[in-house]
Amino acid sequence: MKLVFATHNPNKLEEIKQLLPDSIELLSLTDIGCIEEIEETGKTLEENAYIKARYVKTQYGLNCFADDSGLEIDVLNGAPGVISARYAGRQKDNEANIAKVWENLNNKSNKAAQFRTVIAVCIEDKEWECEGIVRGNLIDEKRGDGGFGYDPIFITDGYTKTFAELGSEIKNKISHRAKAFQLFLNQL
């Protein structure tokens, strides 16, 4: 079966390819010639994931799944959530995003947060979604050089190192993304 992962990111594609059975031919957006930008105009992670997966299914007639992730902070009612990448503006600046988190958490003792991934799946005439959550706490200094986004300020429950200090091998086993993908793979 041909299955499109609605991403242009070769690293994400390769990671998932390793986990899939040989009977599935995994293709990226680039592989199917989808170079147009799919606008993520949804108000939730779910909406954005479905926008991407449904676009490919409708426009290209191919089975597809798409993911969307974000940081959700308890005392900020789940912000930045769906706008995690552009929390501090459209320039998608990680430093500025982290600075904004600190500004909004200033004086708050509860720094609990979670990363959440939603995968929307459109296969034949079925649609469903898989969710992965990793809980933890935010710290007010940056620690570690690995990872991306909010990794340097997030320590997941049961650990003392940030996601940026843990390294990709460990993070990719315990992350929100890993959990959501594992669920998805189990359902294929």
CA 81/CA 73 separation, integer angstroms: 8
Question: Binder to ligand IMP among 6, 66, 79, 151 (CB under 6 A)?
Answer: 151
Smaller CB distance to ligand IMP: residue 8 or 17? 8
Strands 2-5 and 64-73, bridge-based pairing: parallel
Contact between 134 and 174 under an 8 Å Cβ cutoff? The reply is yes
Cα angle, residue 29 at apex, residues 27 and 31 outer, rounded to 5°: 55
Smaller CB distance to ligand IMP: residue 34 or 147? 147
Contact between 66 and 45 under an 8 Å Cβ cutoff? The reply is no
CA 10/CA 78 separation, integer angstroms: 29
**Min CB(164)–ligand IMP separation in Å:** 8
84 sits near ligand IMP (criterion: CB under 6 A): yes
Q: Rule CB under 6 A: which of 53-82 touch ligand IMP?
A: 68-71
How far CA 18 is from CA of 50, 62, 145, 165, in Å, comes to 24, 21, 25, 24
Smaller CB distance to ligand IMP: residue 28 or 84? 84
**Min CB(87)–ligand IMP separation in Å:** 7
Binding piece for ligand IMP, criterion CB under 6 A, among 16-24, 29-37, 98-106, 147-155: 147-155
Catalytic residues: 68
CA 167 to chain centre: 17
Residues touching ligand IMP, count (CB under 6 A)? 14
149 sits near ligand IMP (criterion: CB under 6 A): yes
**Min CB(148)–ligand IMP separation in Å:** 6
Q: What is the DSSP letter of 117?
A: E
Question: Binder to ligand IMP among 150, 156, 162, 181 (CB under 6 A)?
Answer: 150
99 sits near ligand IMP (criterion: CB under 6 A): no
CA 166/CA 179 separation, integer angstroms: 17
166 sits near ligand IMP (criterion: CB under 6 A): no
Smaller CB distance to ligand IMP: residue 128 or 148? 148
